[in-house]
């Protein structure tokens, strides 16, 4: 009987750890997709849940840009799986990341257009500048 309990406990822990899956949800807000610029992480946070995600432990307040143009990434990564696996799913977590874009400055725009023009001339065989 004792061996059965140990095997059952080992099987339960293994199945809980392995059956948790990693997931990622990306939601574009506003005109984030259309805006040109360099991506950067605006804010990060973790949301904790009790009883397999049924009851939230508070609400994570993750800041967003004032203009509202951002990408919200919600992940259930390996660390979150580990937390859920160790606690048997009683405590679970999700990682939240907010990405925004820095606008391209006009000097960067001019330089990139100049490079593109030189590339076009080179492709056409015109080596004069």
User: Which pTM was predicted?
Assistant: 0.59
Q: Tens of pLDDT along 68-125?
A: 888 998 888 888 878 887 888 888 888 889 998 887 775 555 555 555 566 566 655 5
Report yes or no on 126 lying in a domain: no
Question: How many angstroms separate the Cα of 90 from the Cα of each of 3, 49, 66?
Answer: 26, 8, 36
Counted domains in the chain: 1
Question: How many angstroms separate the Cα of 98 from the Cα of each of 27, 46, 67, 78, 107?
Answer: 10, 12, 13, 19, 27
Q: Reduced to 3 states, what is the DSSP secondary structure of residue 13?
A: helix
Structure tokens at 99: 């990405």
Range of 45's domain? 2-120
Residue with tokens 């949800």: 25
Q: Tens of pLDDT along 2-26?
A: 888 888 888 877 776 666 567 788 8
Report yes or no on 89 lying in a domain: yes
Residue 87 makes CB contacts below 8 A (sequence gap 6+) with: none
């Amino acid at each position: 009987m004792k061996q059965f309990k140990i095997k059952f406990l080992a099987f339960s822990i293994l199945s809980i750890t392995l059956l948790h899956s990693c997931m990622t949800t990306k939601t574009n807000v506003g005109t984030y997709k259309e805006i040109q610029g360099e991506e950067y992480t605006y804010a990060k946070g973790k949301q904790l849940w009790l009883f397999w995600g049924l009851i939230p432990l508070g609400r994570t307040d993750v800041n967003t840009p004032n203009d509202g143009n951002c990408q919200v990434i919600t992940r259930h990564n390996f660390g979150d799986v580990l937390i859920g696996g160790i606690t048997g799913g009683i405590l679970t977590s999700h990682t939240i990341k907010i990405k925004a874009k820095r606008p391209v400055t006009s000097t960067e725009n001019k330089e990139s257009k100049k490079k593109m023009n030189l590339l076009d001339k080179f492709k056409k065989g015109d080596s004069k500048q």
